[in-house]
Structure 1
Amino acid sequence: MVEPSGILTLVVNPAAGAGTARRLAAPVAGRLSAQLPGTAVRTVLTDSLAHADAVMREVVDQALAEPDRGPHSLVTMGGDGMSHLGLNAAAGTPVRLGVVPAGTGNDFCRGVRLPRRMGEAVDAISSWRVGEIDLAVASGSLRHPGGVGRTDRRWLGSVLSTGYDARVNRRTNSARLRLGPLSYAWGALAELARFSPLHYSITLDGQHRDLDAMLVAVGNAGWIGGGMRICPRADVHDGMLDITIIRPVSRKVLLAALATVYTGAFARLPFVETLRARTVRIDGEGLFAMADGEEFGDLPLTVSCRPRALHLLGAR
């Protein structure tokens, strides 16, 4: 292997994994330094979502301003929220993104086939192997990734969800009791008790439809909720978005279907429709969107695929 050079910045959410990220940040940085001789490795422990977002954007700005200092790499250590901030900072730039998973869900790593164990993730980053993957970009009146203010464009790596799954996601995020991987399942049961079908207006590559549905999900990588394959055929190398529509069914039928989402087998059920498109516009009265486990904003919004938008360290 050719000895690498350049700058690598490890941005850590110390609270991730109930404090595991704080405890292991120094060993992870040390291992990266040992395996990447000639690369300047620095570590930043963040204290808020806004701080993490600002640090990552500063890393990218520095890389663009100093291209002669060698390759710049941004490595996040935390959960899906940290990787989401990282891809929003690095998308469309030469900066390579690496992910050291330290959260409970790690759906982004699942979807792009990155290791979900810390040691294996460090080894994958240290291989200096870089792959280019597709991302999705949403446009509309959206919350800023850093949590402060608004933006008209925001990148996502996994899934943008609206309807039942979005409401479950919001409930899970706001829950005081954290149950780890079971949190999403608990939220799904709690939300189901009062849920009814919603009316949508969607346009896929110019083809318009009005419909009632339990949910409409738009996938780039396809995973939500700590291992649920809501868009099971999603591929981050095909230049397409995968859309899953669950048409109106009873609460009992929907509950039974949830058990099969973890394997992706639910996509074969008669009330589930799977489609593909390059651009999707979604609207619906009183509806909102979640993506990569984060609040995105109210509908309407448009989601488009951007092929090869991210340079991903350790990609297979």
Structure 2
Amino acid sequence: MTRTGDRPSRLTLIANPAAGGGLGRRLAEGVAGRLSALMPDTRIRTLLSRSWADAEARLAEEVGQSLEDPDPGSRAVVVMGGDGMAHLGLNAVAGTPVGLGVIPAGTGNDFCRGTGLPGRIGAAVAAIASGRSGTVDLARVTGLVRTADGLAEGSRWVGSVVSTGYDARVNHGANELRLRLGSLSYAYVALRELSRFAPLHYRIETDGRVRELDAMLIAVGNAGWIGGGMQICPGADVTDGRLDLTIIHPCSRGTLVRALGSVYTGGFVRLSIVERLRARSVTVDGEGLVAMADGEDLGRVPLRIECVPGALNLLGAGARPQHRGPTH
């Protein structure tokens, strides 16, 4: 559901100063100034995070204070950075009336792509200031997940995609590169990993149906983008109450290269090695699996992933992904 005209009375902008090679630090003050100009009746303050843990703590504090307000829906937080900051932001506000805005200042910005948010800073500021907002689905992941203190049993919210196969290996490898080149980092690591990658054995359960299979990857998408513009779950809709699964079955390296060549357009799904499903809940387990989500280390399998409809109140929402997914 999309609403128009209700601007928050208080808004906190939390920026990652390192995002986009320092873009967050350079532009945070200007973004706050533009928000103030467009939202004269909204009290705005700006914070620069010092680390992942610091950003997570500041967001938790802001949302906690908002929930003590008699009208928590009148307060919002806006994160400025890449998909990591969006991930922290949605984990802080999910399931609450507090609104979340996202200013895309990273190298990936896949969450913005998948939810129909503007991909440019100026347009994102204008969308947040417009008063338009809407609720979108999130994926809730339960199991041994990453927390501020390390891995622990619990749950975590995911906006884009849970990756556990070849895609996760590439994501992890790109994060380890000293030189960050956005989507080019993924392309480089994808070719590097290809030479040593073999199919993985999965055990999955989709809406009660249990399967064991070998696959190059099984991606579970809420919004279907990874790696700075790769459509791994084309047509994923963040308002349909379902998760989109993309399974790439075992294939030769040459066939996988052809698939990767069209992953930016989503055309790879026409290959015979690709299977697509939709489900409300998915459990992923198997051997040698690394779990990544929203560009970050997520946890360890087995993991249960369920779609929670309308879990996030997203500022500036209203656009919809244009591609349709599978109908079965």
> Aligning the two structures, in what range does the TM-score lie when normalised by the shorter sequence?
over 0.9
Alignment correspondent of 1:254: 256
Q: Distance in 2 between matches of 1:31 and 1:70?
A: 22
Alignment correspondent of 2:322: none
Letter in 2 for 1:35: L
Alignment correspondent of 1:189: 191
Aligned residue among 303, 314, 317 for 1:315: 317
SS in 2 for 1:209: strand
C-alpha contact (below 8 Å) 1:205/1:277 kept by paired residues: yes
Alignment correspondent of 2:123: 120
Alignment correspondent of 1:47: 50
C-alpha contact (below 8 Å) 1:290/1:296 kept by paired residues: yes
Instruction: Report how many aligned residue pairs link the two structures.
Output: 315
Shift of 1:217: 0.4
Q: Distance in 1 between matches of 2:234 and 2:294?
A: 16
C-alpha contact (below 8 Å) 1:219/1:242 kept by paired residues: yes
SS in 2 for 1:287: coil
Shift of 1:147: 6.4
Letter in 2 for 1:73: A
Alignment correspondent of 1:298: 300
Alignment correspondent of 1:129: 132
Alignment correspondent of 1:228: 230
SS in 2 for 1:114: coil
Q: 1:224-259: per-residue Cα shift (whole Å, max 9, x none)?
A: 000000000210010000000000001111011101
Structure 2: runs of 5 or more not aligned: 319-328
Q: Distance in 1 between matches of 2:265 and 2:117?
A: 19
SS in 2 for 1:93: coil
Aligned residue among 201, 213, 226 for 1:211: 213
Q: 1:3-32: per-residue Cα shift (whole Å, max 9, x none)?
A: 845110000000111111111111100111
Alignment correspondent of 1:66: 69
Q: Distance in 2 between matches of 1:55 and 1:37?
A: 24
Q: Distance in 2 between matches of 1:189 and 1:181?
A: 13
Q: Distance in 2 between matches of 1:217 and 1:5?
A: 36
Aligned residue among 158, 161, 165 for 1:159: 161
Normalised by the length of structure 2, the TM-score is 0.93
Q: Distance in 2 between matches of 1:253 and 1:308?
A: 38
Letter in 1 for 2:302: P
Aligned residue among 27, 31, 35 for 1:32: 35
Whether 2:115 is the aligned partner of 1:105: answer no
Letter in 2 for 1:170: H
Letter in 1 for 2:123: E
**Equivalent pairs: percent with the same residue?**
62
Q: Distance in 1 between matches of 2:289 and 2:8?
A: 47
Alignment correspondent of 2:22: 19
After superposition, the CA RMSD in angstroms is 1.4
Normalised by the length of structure 1, the TM-score is 0.97
Letter in 2 for 1:184: Y
Letter in 2 for 1:270: S
Q: 1:129-148: per-residue Cα shift (whole Å, max 9, x none)?
A: 1100000010001111x464
Shift of 1:181: 2.5
